[in-house]
Amino acid sequence: MKEQTANRVFDTINFIVLLLCTLLCLAPFLHILAISLSSVKPIQAGLVSLIPIDLNFEAYSKVFMDPAMIRSLFFTILLTVIFTVMCMVLTIAMGYPLAKKKLRGRKLFMFVVVITMFFSGGIIPEYILIKNLGLLDSMWALILPGLINPFYLIILISFFNNIPESLEESAEIDGSSHFRTLISIMIPLSLPVITTLSLFYAVGRWNGFTDTLMYINSPSLYPLQLKLYQLIQNNMVSELIQMEGSQMATVVPESLKAASVIFATVPILIVYPWLQRYFVSGVMLGAVKG
């Protein structure tokens, strides 16, 4: 049949294009992996591409033997988990009422949110606020200022809006409170977007480090990405660093940097495949809708 051939052609092309894209995205990761497993000479000479040369695990043993690195990993996990949970709770708490068209003051509240997408006080007043709240050099300085991302909030509201109102209304007629409706109807129906936004929050926190540069002084509160940033950034040559002369040349081996990159990236990379199963719940949503 003509349709079937067309479909098969479509599937084949689709598969091939995606395969190519996948390989393109995998390559740099393999490159970093290869560097982390190679020895100094071939790396310095720029010979390592996708396959390690002079295979060795020295860099990894250094990373794993460094107690500061391990502590940092656990701290980052803790930080990310607390942050993500708090963010989601607040984002849902705000998203649900704001998805109700009949809520009085809704427009004003939305406006309050949207303004903050563009206007901010700048780095110095923000620092002073954190200081006055007594949050400097504590984990909360990395959590509280970023609790609700307006962009994610808007996405959540848009998804809530797509849930048929009839479902909520029938629940309300049954005498269910708004809290109950939110927990027993809205959240289960929105699991795909909630997991997605959780992932966004978690990845944002995991990868973010600019706030730690400002708010954190104790090495025990250094998240992984800050350590990573320092490892990588410190070899950057700027006009000012040249003023240091040669006195300060402490070179971090490329393989150690690469191993640290892998060490700091893999944990968060595996979160998504693990979350993917929640995406299946969309089937249920479809059924309810129909």
Partner 1 sequence: MSMGVYFRRYWQLYALLVLPLSYFLIFKYGPIYGIQIAFKDFNLFQGINGSEWIGFDAFKEVFGMRDFYITLRNTLMLNFLDLLVSFPAPLILAIMLYELKTAWFKKLSQTILYIPHFISWVIIGGIVYQVFGTQSGMINNLLTSVGLEAIPFLTDKNDWLVTYLLVGVWQSAGWGTIIYLAALTGINKELFEAAGIDGAGRLKRIWHITLPGLKPTIIVLLIINLGHMISIGFERPYVIGNLAVREYSDVLSTFVYRIGIQSGQYTLATVIGLFQAVVGLVFVLGSNYVSKKLTDESIL
Partner 2 sequence: MTANTTKKRFIASKTSMLALLVVSTMVFTACSSKSETSTNGGDNGKPADGKQVTLKVEIFDRGNAPAGSTITDNYLSKFVQEKFGNNNNVKVEYVPVPRSEEVAKLNVLMASGSDVPDIVFTYDPNTFNRYAKQGGLTDLGPLLEEHGKTLKTFLGDEVLEYGKFEGTQFAIPAKRSITGKYASFIRQDWLTKLNLPVPQTTDELYTTLKAFKEKDPGQTGGQVIPLGMTIASAQYEPLLWSFIQSMTEEQQYTLTQQLGSNDYPVLLPGFKDGLQFMNKLYNEGLISKDFGLDKDKKKMSEDIQTGKVGFFSEDDINIYYKDGTYDLLEKTVEGAVLSAVDVYTNDQGKHAKPQYAPNGLYIMVPKSSKNAVEAVKYLDWMASDDNLFNLQNGIVDENYTLVDGIPVTNENPTEEAKNRLFNSGDLAIISNGKQLGSLEDNLKARVLSMPAQFHEQLAIAQEIAYADNIPLVVLDRPIEAQTKYATTLLDKFNEIIVKTTMSKPDQFESTYTAMLKDYMASGGQAILDERTAAYKEMKSK
Q: Is 175 helix (H, G, I), strand (E, B) or coil?
A: coil
Question: What residue has token string 């479809």?
Answer: 286
* 193 in contact with partner 1 (CB under 8 A): yes
Which amino acid would we find at residue 160? F
One residue of 45, 65, 101, 119 binding partner 1 per CB under 8 A: 119
- Which span sits near partner 1 by CB under 8 A: 53-61, 67-75, 76-84, 278-286? 278-286
**Between 25 and 65, whose beta carbon lies closer to partner 1?**
25
Q: Which of 22, 217, 220, 230 binds partner 1 (CB under 8 A)?
A: 22
Distance in Å, CB of 166 to partner 2, minimum: 20
Asked whether the beta carbons of 264 and 232 are under 8 A apart, the reply is: no
Q: Contact 145/158 with Cβ under 8 angstroms? A: no
Give 238 or 247: the residue with its C-beta nearer to partner 1. Answer: 238
Looking at the Cβ atoms of 220 and 276, the one nearer to partner 1 is: 276
Rounded CA gap, 143 and 165, in Å?
Answer: 34
d(Cα 160, Cα 182) in Å, to the nearest integer? 10
Give the interface with partner 2 as residue ranges (CB under 8 A): 40-41, 44-47, 65-68, 104-105, 107-108, 112, 123-125, 127-129, 131-132, 136, 213-214, 217-220, 226-227, 229-231, 233-237, 239-252
Touching partner 1, residues 37-66 (CB under 8 A): 46, 49
The residues, ordered by sequence, that sit 6+ positions from 69 with a Cβ below 8 Å of its Cβ are 63, 224, 227, 260, 263
Nearer to partner 1, 188 or 220 (CB): 188
Spatial separation of the C-alpha atoms in residues 92 and 153, rounded to whole Å: 8
Nearer to partner 1, 21 or 251 (CB): 21
Tally of CB atoms within 10 A around 126: 15
CB of 114 to partner 1, least distance (A): 7
Segment contacting partner 1 (CB under 8 A): 36-44, 58-66, 145-153, 242-250? 145-153
With CB cut-offs between 5 and 8 Å by kind, which of partner 1, partner 2, none does residue 157 bind? Answer: partner 1
CB of 109 to partner 2, least distance (A): 9
Spatial distance between the Cα atoms of 285 and 163, rounded to a whole number of angstroms: 9
> Are residues 229 and 215 in contact, defined by beta-carbon separation less than 8 angstroms?
no
Question: Closer to partner 1 at the Cβ: 69 or 99?
Answer: 99
Would you state the structure tokens that stand for residue 66, as one six-digit string? 């460094």
Cα separation of the two ends of the chain = 31
Where does this chain touch partner 1 (CB under 8 A) — which range of 36-44, 56-64, 70-78, 88-96? 88-96
- Of 77-85, 191-199, 216-224, 242-250, which segment contacts partner 1 by CB under 8 A? 191-199
Nearer of residues 81 and 214 to partner 2, judged by Cβ: 214
CA proximity to 278, closest of 214, 207, 198, 216: 198
Binding residues for partner 1, rule CB under 8 A, total 97
Give the DSSP H/E element, type plus range, for residue 255: helix 254-269
